[in-house]
Homo-oligomer: A and B are copies of this chain.
Amino acid sequence: MAVGEAIFPQMPAIAGIRLGTAQAGIKKAGRRDVLIIEVPEQARVAGVFTRNAFCAAPVHVAKRHLQHGASRYLLVNTGNANAGTGMQGMQDAQACCDALAALTHVASQSVLPFSTGVIGERLPVERLCNSLSEALTNLGDSAVAWELAGQAILTTDTRPKGATATCNVNGQMVTINGIAKGSGMIKPNMATMLAFVATDAEIETALLERLLRDSVDRSFNCITVDSDTSTNDACMLIATGEGPRIAGEESIAVFRDALDRLTRELAQAIIRDGEGATKFVTLDVQGARSRDEALNVAFTVAHSPLVKTALYASDANWGRILAAVGRAPVEDFDVERVTIDLGEVRLVEAGERVPGYTEKAGSAVMTRDEIDIRIHLGRGEASATVWTSDLSHDYVSINADYRS
């Protein structure tokens, strides 16, 4: 299931970025499960990685290789996460980097590995390495290459997710392309969210890292399907340096805005394709003392199984929203200042149900595919927006049946 229709955008080429895919037979027969992204020599690459303490072998290796600099290839496989695999997993991830490095005549540290799929099974290194020349053969920068790349990184996703954005820097156009996978943040078994974003702009590494971190904080870090953080999450940003240089306040602001639009679009696409999702829900918390406080309230509501099942049932059960807000970790919480709106309908004011509220008005909003819930805490100026999906029978089926 998924919310709404989704068309993979016609991606423009980013000069210097080439993508090649292959069928290694790691996932299912006949499905692309290997992706190579080629990065030009002068490119800068930044990455943010999962905060799960049990992070997977490829995450360790990719972080180490990234520090080395001079990244030339991103090597992604699906079907196996190479997580919980100890020293063997590290050797396996390294062996794949070595194989690609040998074929492309670069240093092994110039290859960054990414894996997503089942946790705790050994990576089928031989099958993966055997597929590399196929992927290298069809490297290209066409719209088709981007779309096949979007497909090659999927696991339980029902559709590929891509976004493209442009901005104007000193009269020159900058392009940003991105692809992502994940039916949640948020599926350790699939090990889970990956996003690869590339731009033709020229951006110093330190700035690139800061832009990526900030953008991820307001996009991928603001989505949740089921609260489970993956062992393999990663989001990479590549700047080829072929296009205009981003430096100085104005160009940074323009680029940041375009990057934020793109990451938000990809993050929202993940939620719309969330496991079993029938609703796309925007939780907007305002009037908090800090952004962390606003995020805490938003995530408490977004993770509440009772709110999520009410959303699934299109039941305007505002009491569940109120109870979730009430248990959020907020100090000296004065509920008499809280207002809650469901779409254009006010549910709660001064901590209780609005007198004129009717079940009919609430239900009219709840039957929609896309639902906005706005919570005003009345205690400060900070705010946060979080996107989530509902909890359906299909979510349980997908996760109860995945390995059987």
Contacts and interface: CB of A to CB of B under 8 A. Distances in A.
Interface of A: 51-55, 81, 83-86, 89, 118-120, 187-189, 191, 226-231, 303-306, 309-310, 312-313, 315, 317-320, 322-328, 330, 333, 335, 348, 350-353, 391-393, 395-397, 399-404
A227 B309 CA distance: 13
Contacts of A53: 325-328, 330, 333, 335
A313 B352 contact: no
B404 A84 contact: no
B118 A403 contact: no
Nearest to A353: B120
Given A227-B305, A327-B229, A396-B396, A84 B315 contact: no
A399 B310 contact: yes
A228 B327 contact: yes
Contacts of A327: 51-53, 228-229
Contacts of A310: 189, 399-400
B226 A189 contact: no
A323 B230 contact: yes
A305 B226 contact: yes
B306 A187 contact: yes
Given A120-B318, A305-B226, A315-B403, A326 B396 contact: no
23 contacts: A52-B326, A53-B328, A53-B335, A83-B319, A118-B319, A188-B306, A188-B319, A189-B306, A189-B320, A191-B319, A227-B303, A227-B304, A227-B305, A228-B320, A229-B326, A231-B319, A231-B323, A310-B400, A312-B396, A312-B400, A313-B401, A313-B404, A393-B397
A285 to B, nearest CB: 14
Contacts of A317: 189, 402-403
Given A325-B54, A327-B229, A320 B188 contact: yes
A399 B305 contact: yes
Nearest to A228: B306
A313 B52 contact: no
A256 B330 CA distance: 33
B399 A309 contact: yes
A396 B306 contact: no
Contacts of A401: 313
A400 B323 contact: no
A305 B395 contact: yes
